[in-house]
Amino acid sequence: MLNNKGKKSYKGYLYLLPALLVLSVFVFYPIINAIVFSFDETKAVGYVFGFGSYKYLFEDKRFLQSLVNTVIYAAVVPALSVGLSLMIANTLANLKNEKLKGVFQSIYFLPYVTSLVAIGVVWSWLFNGQYGIINYLLGFIGIDPINWLSDPNWAMPALIIFSVWKSLAFNTLILTTGIASINPQYYQAAKIDQATNSTIFRKITIPLVSPIILYTYIISLIAGFKVYTEVFVLFNGRTLDGRVSTVVMYIIDRFYGDQDFPLAFAAAVVLLLIILTVTFVQRTIARNKVHY
């Protein structure tokens, strides 16, 4: 028995070997490096241990502001995106017309395909306060023009709209795949019982795809905490004096702008700890609700 377990253990690692090898060199090693150098007190050559960077970080208003923005973003975008994707994926799954289903699925996936640079520029045109199509359409329902990209109060909503639009594609694809892999027998049984669509959705679809829902949510959450490119392309590098600054943006500014590696690493470690805590809590809460 013992022998058997030992053999199994070895086998598991064998399967993991390629991933472990690559991750060790290109992910774990640089992370350890980042952690070690976040405690470096000197920006020059050499190493002096200390907590100076962390201390500075929590006294830096811009960092705290970036942290708040990031938390707001991570609280809103993943939930909104996964929720909407689930509804879309479910609606698509119920479509009888296979051809139309394929067309819709392809269209919805489009935002994932394009690089963010050009599409970010396009969205900044659509959001334009004076000539943007979005304000034009809002005019029809009697809403006054909004300075989406200049008014600090509207910048975050604009960012959220753009990000949800962009992230729906991935989530919808994964959830569609998840729903499609549910055994049709469940649905047939439910139909025999004359269950309504919404009952089927709640009692069969959701529980059965719950691991996939959790997956998309966790992935979106992690991506949400790491948001940067979306902000950069939509606002063309501006942050409206910090109103849409994010933690990763702060990290990049310190890293490449200031070459202040200890401070950048410290901010990255703080972000890592926050995401770890949040995902751990999420997974613990969800553990009881997810069915395998």
Given a contact cutoff of 8 angstroms between Cβ atoms, the answer to whether 257 and 281 are in contact is no
Binding to other proteins (CB under 8 A): which residues in 222-251? 222, 225-226, 228, 235-242, 247-248, 251
Judged by beta carbon, residue 49 or residue 196, the one nearer other proteins is 196
Residue 6 tokens, joined: 């030992």
| 26 near other proteins, rule: CB under 8 A | yes
In the complex, minimum distance from the CB of residue 34 to other proteins, in angstroms, rounded to a whole number: 5
CA–CA separation, 183 and 185 (whole Å): 5
In the complex, minimum distance from the CB of residue 276 to other proteins, in angstroms, rounded to a whole number: 6
Contact region for other proteins (CB under 8 A) — 71-79, 138-146, 220-228? 220-228
The residues near 161 (Cβ < 8 Å, ≥ 6 apart) are: none
| 152 near other proteins, rule: CB under 8 A | yes
In the complex, minimum distance from the CB of residue 167 to other proteins, in angstroms, rounded to a whole number: 12
| 71 near other proteins, rule: CB under 8 A | no
Q: Among 232, 251, 248, 228, which residue's Cα sits nearest to residue 240?
A: 232
| 128 near other proteins, rule: CB under 8 A | yes
Angle CA 74–79–84, to nearest 5? 135
By CB under 8 A, the count of residues binding other proteins is 121
Q: In the chain, which ranges are E strands? A: none
Query: Does residue 260 come out as left (phi exceeding 0), alpha (psi in the -120 to 50 range) or beta?
Result: beta
| 75 near other proteins, rule: CB under 8 A | no
Binding to other proteins (CB under 8 A): which residues in 188-217? 211-212, 215
